[in-house]
Structure 1
Amino acid sequence: MAAANRLACYSDPADHYSHRVRLALAEKGVAVEVIDVQAGQCPARLAELNPYAGVPTLVDRDLVLYEPGVILEYLEERYPHPPLLPVYPVARAHTRLLVHRIQRDWCSLVDRILDRRTREEARTQARKELRESLSGVSPVFAEKPYFMSDEMSVVDCCLLPILWRLPVLGVELPRASRPLLGYMERNFAREAFQASVSSIERTMR
């Protein structure tokens, strides 16, 4: 039961927003009870905790958080080591802006592809845009081990779950995207990332 542990996370094992939270928890080595909630389902306890009955939802004793960005900010403040945000305000602002751009530029396309209500021609266009956009930014990944950073950050926690899903999204990166492919290979092999992957997500590649 969620109440048995101090920290619990209601998570859709196939959802990239839930995955980013699980990845942040794994990176910080936080002991948490992950409660799988399949899409379309809503346990009674989750409905009591979250007025939107959605995931991810984090429960820390009497505190309930239910928006991915808010959850990631809380985890950074509650468990500051290892940090997923830079120390200095300007660098922090830049990191937050990158997260915003990932949400606007890439997550929106991913969500369009995965939405069953999306018409096939719109889905095909979204795949094309996502492939071209990721390919275009690939050279950036040759400069640093993480996305525009020497250290793992919240930006990577948002990006890696998307990249993990490229096969099920129907997006194949060209060979010219070698820096990005290398970034993916290195980070998918990391212990924390592997710990964050659900059994359903393991079938995606």
Structure 2
Amino acid sequence: MTVIRLYDKPECPFCWKIRLALFEQGLTVEHIDSLAPETRETWQSLTPRKTVPVLVNGDIVIYESNVILEYLNDLSETLLPEDPTQRVTARLINSYSDGVIGAGLREVIFEKRGNAEADRDHKRIEQGIAQFETALDYLSGQLGGKTFFADSYSLPECALTARFGLAEAYGVEIPDRFSNLRSWFERMKSRPSYRATAPQHLLS
């Protein structure tokens, strides 16, 4: 039986959402650290973008995270709802997570990661947090009082769990006014997949 290989980076949100998807599906996977010098040449030869994640399953090589998610759904039919309208919703929110939620958080994380407090651009951090909080308005409206963003655990849960997990790790909180999002994230953190896939240094 072919074992899926995932060239991975612990704090990469695109990698983390793939780890969540794989765990939720119960698929056997070999995680390969893309930061290890001995693996860099191998995985970079597989992708023109020279970025991770890169998933390899036999002769199939996929180097774009959302295409990986679609492929994983094709394997198990568990990451997208059956209803066509709900499938569109799931895909749109997954895209929103990458393009809008991720944009503000990126500013905060890139500024805080590796920089001492005195060396940080605090205006950049404040602007990133403000951008993140503004982006939550749409998400809160989309979630409403539902358990999941679509009618079951799907792509948005993978994507947003990773984003919110990194936000929390870098001191960016979901404001109290978004109580449905705070409750949603607590539910996601209580799933076995969260602890199994989160960067271990963020759990300590």
- Equivalences, count: 197
SS in 2 for 1:14: coil
Deviations 1:138-170 (A, max 9, x none): 4654511112x3310111111011111123333
- CA distance 1:157–1:41, change in 2 (3 Å): farther
| Greater alpha carbon shift after TM alignment, 41-50 vs 4-13 | 41-50
TM-score normalised to the size of structure 2?
0.83
Shift of 1:40: 9.3
Which consecutive unaligned segments of at least 5 residues does structure 1 have? none
Which consecutive unaligned segments of at least 5 residues does structure 2 have? 113-119
- The one-letter code matched in structure 1 to 2:165 is W
Partner of 2:145: 143
Partner of 2:3: 6
Partner of 2:106: 111
Partner of 2:190: 189
Residue 157 (str. 1) matches residue 158 (str. 2): yes
Residue 67 (str. 1) matches residue 64 (str. 2): yes
Partner of 1:131: 133
Pairwise CA RMSD: 2.7
Q: Distance in 2 between matches of 1:75 and 1:48?
A: 22
Choose the corresponding residue for 1:15, options 12, 15, 20: 12
Q: Distance in 1 between matches of 2:175 and 2:125?
A: 19
Partner of 1:202: 203
Shift of 1:201: 3.6
| Greater alpha carbon shift after TM alignment, 63-72 vs 101-110 | 101-110
Contact 2:6 2:55 in 1 (8 A): yes
Q: Distance in 1 between matches of 2:132 and 2:80?
A: 26
Shift of 1:116: 4.6
- CA distance 1:172–1:46, change in 2 (3 Å): same
TM-score normalised to the size of structure 1?
0.83
Partner of 1:101: 96
Choose the corresponding residue for 1:38, options 5, 20, 35: 35
- CA distance 1:137–1:67, change in 2 (3 Å): closer
Partner of 2:87: 92
- CA distance 1:88–1:138, change in 2 (3 Å): closer
Contact 2:108 2:125 in 1 (8 A): yes
- CA distance 1:138–1:94, change in 2 (3 Å): closer
| Greater alpha carbon shift after TM alignment, 149-158 vs 101-110 | 101-110
- The one-letter code matched in structure 2 to 1:91 is Q
- The one-letter code matched in structure 1 to 2:155 is V
- CA distance 1:94–1:41, change in 2 (3 Å): farther
